[in-house]
Every structure is written in C-alpha cells, then in structure tokens.
Chains A and B, each alone.
Chain A
Amino acid sequence: MTRDDLTSDRLRTALTAVADRHEPDAEAWHHIENQVSGRGPALVAADRHGPAAPRRRHRLLAAAVIAAVAAVATVAVLARGDHDRDTTDVTTTPAVATGWYIPVGLPDGWTVREVTAQRMDERCPCSETTWASPSRDIVLIRSTDPDRAGQDGVTEVPSPSTSTFAVADDVEGTITPAPDAEGGPTGWTAGWVVDGERTSLTAIGIAPSQAAEVARAVFADPTSVPEHVEGVAPVGSWSETSPVNRDADVGIAMASPAGHEVDITLSSSDRWRSKGILVPTDRLAGQQPLALLTLKSYAPTPVGDQPRVRDYIGLWPGATVRVLGGYADGPATDAEIDAVTASLRPATLDEWRAFVAGAENRDRAATSSATLQDLIDGRAAPTASVAARGDLDDLDVTLDATPRMATWEDAGVSLTVRNPTSSAITDPTCALDRAEVALLPADDQTQAAVDAIPAGDPWWQDDGPCDGGTTMAPGASKTIRLPVRAQFHDARYGPLPGGRYGATVRIDGVTGQVTTPVEIGADPACTGDTAGYVGLTEVDARALAEQRGVTEVRTPAAGTESDVVTYRCDRLTLVVDDGRVTFARFY
C-alpha cells in the first residue's frame, strides 16, 4: 500500500466515523413539514449555477447572464490566509501591454489570498455567434465545438430539470431551463450533437416554452434567428478553425478587511467573445481610467434569497479582465467590488511578479511568462505543436509539448491516447493518467549543465486519486495534460539550465517510452559567489552569507514551493540535508 493509499484510507475511515456518530434531529421532519405547509412563496432552488452547460466558457456566460447568483460558478474559492500583506504601489505604466493588472492603492487590511494560473485550452474547431435586442434584455448565443462523447470515461450528469426533445427527424436535443429566480430574467440552454459537432444555444429573456421552436429554427438555419425571435439582430461572431484554441486563466483572490473575497480573472483578449451583450458602465467614472463593461442583468438588487453580485468586465490591452464578488465568509459588498475594480492598473512584469510574491498561495506558472499572452501561447510557435508518435502495446500515443519554453514554465506536455482496436481497453490503475514525464537532456552540453546540480529524480507524475480507472471504447481517445515544468522536480534546485531536452513519457505496464524534442531558454541566472557553502552546517552557512552581505537566506524543505519569482541575486537558497548544505544558489 502506498503512502497515499494509507492517507486516503485513514481519511475515509475518519470521515465516516465523524459522520456516523451524529444522530439526526428527531424532529427534523416535523420542522420541514411545518415550513413547507406554511404556504410561503416558493423558495429559489439552491442550484445557483444556471442551466447545465458542461463547458467552462459556457458556464461563464450562461450562468452569469441568466441568474446573477450563478456568478459564483466563476469564482475561484480560494485559500484562507491569516496574515496581512501590503499591496504593491505601481508607479509605472508598461510601454507594451503585458496583460498583467494588479490592484494599486487599496487600503490597509486587503490581502492577496491566492494567485492561480491554469491553461484553459479548448478543443476546436469552435465558433460563437450572438444575437441580442438593443436593450440587451433578449440574448441568444449559438456556439459549436467538438463533442466530447467517447472520451475519457467521463459522462456528463444532466441537470435534474433537463428534458429531451426532437430537434429534427433524426436528431435529439436537450433543453435545460434556468432556475427560477424571483425578479430575474428567464432563460434556458439547448444542445444537440450532429456528426461529432456539438451545438449549444444559450438564451436569456426568451421563454422556455419557446425553446424548442427556437432551437429547431436555429438547427435548420442559424441565420434565421431574427425571424423567430422578435427584436434581435446579430451583434457578434467568433470562430477558431484550428484543433486547439489556447487560453489560460489567471485568478487573483483578494480578501477585504472584513474577510470577503473579490476575485479578479485575467484571460485572453478574446475570451469574452459575445462582446455585443456587454453594456458600458460609468459607475466608477473618475476612479478607474480604463473603460468598464458589465452584463445588463447585474443590477444591484436581490434575486430571490441571494443578493445579486456586481461584476465588471474590462476588455483592456493584453487581457480580458473580470472582477467578481465572492460569497466566502459572506457576500462581497458592492463597495468592496468597486474598490478592487477601481484600483486595477496595468503592471510591468516586475511589478506583476512582486505582487504575486506577496500572495499567500501562488502558482509559479503565473509568473513564468513575460506577458499573459506568452502564458496562453506557451511561447510556442504558431504552427501545430511538435509531436512524436509511438505505438505502445495496443494504444496509439501522441506526445505534444511546447517546442520552446522559458525556465520555470509549464512545458505544455500532453499525451493523446487512442484505442485503435476493435475491443475496449481498460486501465484500472490509471496508468495513463499517472504517466511519468521528464525533461531529459538531449545533448552533451545540456547534460553537463544538469549533472552539475545534484537535484535527483527528474521524473514528474500526477499522483492524484484513481477513480476506479478508465475504459476506452474502440476508437475512443483521450488527452491527458502531464505536469512538468522547466525546473528541477525538487524546486529548491531552481530552474533547468537552458538547452535542448527531450520531453519523455513512460507509462507503467507498457513497453517503450515516447519522446519529443523541446528547448528551454537560457535562464538569467545570478552570478553570485556560491563557493564555500557546500558542506557547511546551516548555522555556519548563514554566518558566511551574512559576512558576504547576502540579504536573505532560505532553507526550504523538500517538496515545498519555491518563493522565487524575481531575480535580485542578493538572496540565497540553501539545500540542507542531514544538517549540511549540499547546494546553494542565488536568486
């Protein structure tokens, strides 16, 4: 039994013991019956996330527009912090838009709880077309992308209120209404799959009773929407014809002095594709110099039992910026959301990195790229990613990686596995998801540079839980992102030296390994004097550092995140094993 299994088994046992020792209230049914029989107004369903729309970008839009409370779906509920950090004063304006925006000048008491960064690559070809009324009370969005059926063993669980209907003679679709929101707009989503392409319709301000009729009309002829929905006209369209639309999502969780969360999201400039449904707001005129937009449904009035959450959207240089209030420890107030939004200013890379360094939790990927667009692109060439094919036993395996990356950066490695056989293939131990990946030196010069650093095992592995494994049907395929960065696996040893590497994958239980060439850009390494530290005790090493004028000495434990986000070259990281320094580097 692995250490992880031991942990999860004990956790499971403990949770069961805690739960089972609680005896439910004997009068519970009596209380419920009384409340239900009290004949009060129908309560709003607690499913606040709006119609079931599996893809994150649809949830962003559909949930947000149909039910204001569903904006919580877009909020990253983030780690709690227990100490204050000051926000950074920014006095410079970058000459080139970096896409980084940070709060400037917030009052004391605001803290940065977490900065996260994750890729949001979506499979394409995909498209989005929007129609809306002049007042934006009626909106219809038609989007298309490849159907995910047959992939990954993941099945979408339909919303309890989803129903099916005949879109055409041989095409079945689904319709899911928005939850009832007292005083809120009505809406629904519909969808169907034809020839591997999934079409989704999101509607606001159109009665659910019209859903089938409108959906059938759109199916027959998308351009006929204005004939079937009175008062709307096309207001925007977007499409991506390549197989992958690269995107990333950088999230900043701010905590107010009262402990309420306000979240800032930075994403690609075209993330908010249905721009036509946004309306300008001058609420923060004189406070926020950049133009702000909002969704019309975000009026600051309650919806049922939950308050509407104010939001702002900025289609700003280098990024789409969204500010949204959260509900942790109570809903963020309008004043708090306004304060954060008004404070946002563009930041240089150094300013961004310094800001992120002050966060209580942070993804290093958030600071490994010079601009947000670099993060999104993975600094890859615009053509198709480098790939290597390998037949591993019965599976077809394709390995993709970012051809060129910066130090510390996510290598963008993904494994696409296809079952070309006529039989199902099972993977009960999640060997595919737990594939090991490493960036191995591909030439002597790079090997020598890596060998000079005693950093140990180069292999990375996602050792998350295995949900009973995966079954791949004949012809099915799945794509797995593998976690490897251009750094030593033990982050204490810093980034991988610049050079040529092979992104290499090995899978437990299958023969051979697959590799594809990648290149890591040279690291702007510090040239500080590290001589003399190795072999010293920590105490002696610290004394030596002080003599030499080193401003800060860190001795992080193995497996901890590195704080390195900015190179100042007057700070020292020491790796201490068995009481002796084994490695030193400046940052």
Chain B
Amino acid sequence: MHTVADPDPAPTGGEDLRDLESLFHAEYARSVRLALLLIGDPRRAEELAQDAFVRIAPKLDAVANPPAYLRTIVVNLCRDHGRRAATERRQPPPRIEVVPEPPLPGDTSTIWQAVQALPAPRREVLVLRYWADLPTAEIARLLQIPHPTVRTRIRRGLASLKEVLSDDA
C-alpha cells in the first residue's frame, strides 16, 4: 500500500517487462501449480497462469503486492475457467507443450482423485488452506466469502476426504 498526497489510482501502463519477467521467475511455477490444483487440467492451468501474467502486466507499477495480486487473478481465472470468451485473446492462443507427468503413488493418487471429485467450492478452500497455506481470513478475502463459510467448507471438505482416507487406511 503506497501513500500519496492525493491518490491517482489510474494504472500507468506498467509494461516494463523486466519487472514482469522478474515476477515471472519468482511466481510462475507456483501460479501454474495453484491453477493445476484448482482445476486439475495441466494444459489449462498453464494457459490460465500465463493469462494472469498478461493481465497483471499493465498494473504492475500500481500494485504494491504483486504476488498476492497475481494469486487473486489466478484464483479468479480458475473459478471462471471454461467460460472465457474467445474475444479476450488478442492473438491466437499459444501452443502449450505440457511435459507428461510421472504417475502418482497409490496413496497420493487416491487422495488426488478424491480432491478432484469434491465440489469446486470445497476444493478451492482446501487447496488454498493446505497447499498455499493461507490463513482462513486471507482465503475469505480472496474468495470474497464470509470467514465462517471458509471454515465450514474446510470442515466439510475434510469430512468428505476423511471417508476416502479412512477406507484407504
């Protein structure tokens, strides 16, 4: 948060690619992995993560906490994925090559399948809580839902998983 005598919140363009590239090297891997956990599709996760960087580019000068802002964009894009209008792309979509991922060990695979089967609202809060390690207050702010709702969704999500994990154990 920056302090000015009279604020001028209009974005300044912010297309200094060095800053963006710096952010990319620091945050891209984490962004695409967050997207992957939220939507389960590696190729789409790459697209969304790249889209997030394109979106933050013109705002970078005005953003005080780029990693947090980037995370907000990624989460929002993931919530909307599948419905993006073709008109939003200014160029043909990039050809993204996804490296085949190694198979998961049995226990992990079971848990991951169970997570993917959760309703999106519960999956979101579990990923943000147990992979991104965000406090519930931050999750509530990020998802724009009440704090108690975050806790309820976490509890219900864990309860759903518990059955799978109990059987698995």
User: What is A's interface to B at a CB cutoff of 8 Å?
Assistant: 3-4, 6-8, 10-29, 31-38, 40-49, 52, 54, 56, 59, 63, 72-73, 76-80, 118, 120, 154-158, 160-166, 174-177, 180, 188, 208-209, 211-212, 302, 305-307, 327-331, 462-465, 467-468, 481
Contacts and interface: CB of A to CB of B under 8 A. Distances in A.
B24 to A, nearest CB: 5
Nearest to A54: B141
B39 interface: no
Contacts of A78: 119, 121
B111 A11 contact: yes
Q: What DSSP secondary structure best describes chain B's contact surface?
A: helix
Interface in B17-35: 17, 20-21, 24, 28-29, 32-34
Contacts of A468: 135
A29 B28 contact: yes
Interface residues of B, number: 99
B121 A462 contact: no
A76 B120 CA distance: 11
B69 A32 contact: no
Given A34-B91, A467-B136, A22 B101 contact: yes
A40 B55 CA distance: 11
A503 to B, nearest CB: 19
A468 B90 CA distance: 45
20 contacts: A4-B162, A10-B165, A11-B126, A15-B130, A17-B105, A19-B36, A24-B29, A29-B28, A36-B57, A42-B13, A45-B55, A45-B59, A45-B73, A48-B76, A155-B137, A160-B59, A163-B4, A175-B9, A463-B155, A464-B152
Interface in B96-130: 96-99, 101-102, 104-105, 107-108, 111-112, 115, 119-121, 126-127, 129-130
Contacts of B28: 24, 28-29
Contact of B36 (A13, A22, A120): A22
Nearest to B120: A77
Contacts of B91: 34-35, 38, 40
Contacts of B82: 329-330
Nearest to A11: B130
Contacts of B96: 25, 27-28, 31
B127 A15 contact: yes
A47 B50 contact: no
B112 A18 contact: yes
A245 to B, nearest CB: 15
A436 B27 CA distance: 42
Contacts of A7: 158, 161-162, 165
Contacts of B149: 118
Nearest to B87: A305
A532 to B, nearest CB: 33
B73 to A, nearest CB: 4
A436 to B, nearest CB: 16
B93 to A, nearest CB: 9
A25 B151 contact: no
B167 interface: no
A208 B10 contact: yes
B119 A27 contact: no
Nearest to B42: A22
A366 to B, nearest CB: 14
